[in-house]
């Protein structure tokens, strides 16, 4: 009987109690299973890490995988137009990366400026403005003023002064630097203008055109004043070649300068002596 039991154990079985026939019947023994929460077996603790695992994670947990950093999102790209492009150009201009007047158009010069800015700060030199480039630029600059955004002109005209809403009026806003020719409250045309300096200021108020001189030359400053329309002493609305050439880098001697010759030529042909002039801030 002992021999039978020994052979049975070697074969993976164990002896069962004698049956009614007096013989031993073998029974299959299942392989030992590890208890997930017990202490038996080589992995009884549930810890799948080796004894020298440097992760420091608690037993029974896995080390989290690092989350990849999302790629920067493109905000502006060559060919785009709009107010945010204009703001970006004005900000680049503040730190001497853009030397033109902001136009609101993302052209080749803007692309070159962005590439230079990116290269200087170790960013990918793409020429497009992504979220990282924009955040860097905003952190180095301040919000542009209206005159910085429109340093070359083109500011939308201000709301007309109430004195401009009746009759024939040259409605001149110092705040938006515009002259709007209006007839009975209707806008006929609008043009950029500049004014006198702090030492020779353009007068505010309501006036009338008292004299027109197509080829006028100033006797005081010996300078040409084409399409001059005088409204207050020696102050007039007239074309200025200097304004056309240098923009708002200069100032008049008190007159209202217009730089678009075609527009003022058309205005000169329409304005009559006695028409109203309103200059306001």
From CA 200, how far away is CA 133, in angstroms rounded?
A: 43
From CA 78, how far away is CA 65, in angstroms rounded?
A: 37
Q: Fill in the DSSP letter of residue 276.
A: E
pTM of this prediction exceeds 0.95: no
Tokens of residue 106, six digits: 């993302």
Structural element, H or E, at residue 228: strand 224-232
pLDDT digits (tens, 9 = 90+) for 191-248: 999 999 999 999 999 999 999 999 999 998 899 999 999 999 999 999 999 999 999 9
Helices (H), the chain: 2-10, 83-94, 108-120, 131-140, 146-149, 241-246, 261-270
pLDDT digits (tens, 9 = 90+) for 238-256: 999 999 999 999 999 999 9
């Amino acid at each position: 009987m002992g021999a039978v039991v020994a052979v049975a154990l070697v074969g993976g079985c164990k002896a069962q109690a004698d049956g009614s026939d007096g013989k031993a019947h073998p029974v299959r023994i299942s392989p030992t299973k590890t208890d997930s929460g017990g202490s038996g077996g080589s992995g009884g603790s549930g810890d799948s890490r080796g004894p020298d695992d440097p992760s420091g994670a608690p037993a029974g947990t896995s080390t989290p995988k690092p989350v990849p950093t999302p790629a920067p999102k493109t905000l502006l790209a060559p060919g785009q137009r709009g107010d945010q492009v204009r703001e970006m150009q004005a900000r680049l201009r503040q730190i001497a990366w853009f030397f033109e007047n902001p136009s609101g158009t993302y052209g080749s010069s803007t692309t070159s400026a962005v590439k230079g800015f990116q290269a200087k700060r170790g960013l990918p030199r793409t020429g497009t403005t992504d979220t990282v480039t924009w955040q860097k630029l905003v952190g180095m600059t301040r919000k542009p003023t209206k005159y910085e955004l429109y340093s070359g002109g083109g500011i939308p005209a201000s709301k007309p002064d109430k004195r401009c809403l009746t009759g024939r009026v040259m409605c001149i806003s110092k705040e938006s630097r515009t002259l709007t020719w209006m007839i009975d409250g209707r806008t006929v045309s609008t043009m950029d203008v500049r004014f006198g300096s702090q030492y020779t200021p353009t007068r505010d108020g309501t006036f009338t055109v008292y004299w027109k001189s197509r080829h006028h030359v100033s006797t005081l400053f010996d300078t040409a004043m084409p399409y001059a329309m005088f409204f207050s002493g020696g102050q007039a609305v007239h074309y200025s070649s200097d304004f056309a050439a240098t923009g708002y880098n200069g100032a008049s001697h008190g007159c209202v300068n217009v730089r678009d010759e075609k527009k003022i030529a058309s205005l000169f042909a329409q304005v009559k002596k006695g028409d109203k002039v309103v200059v306001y801030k």
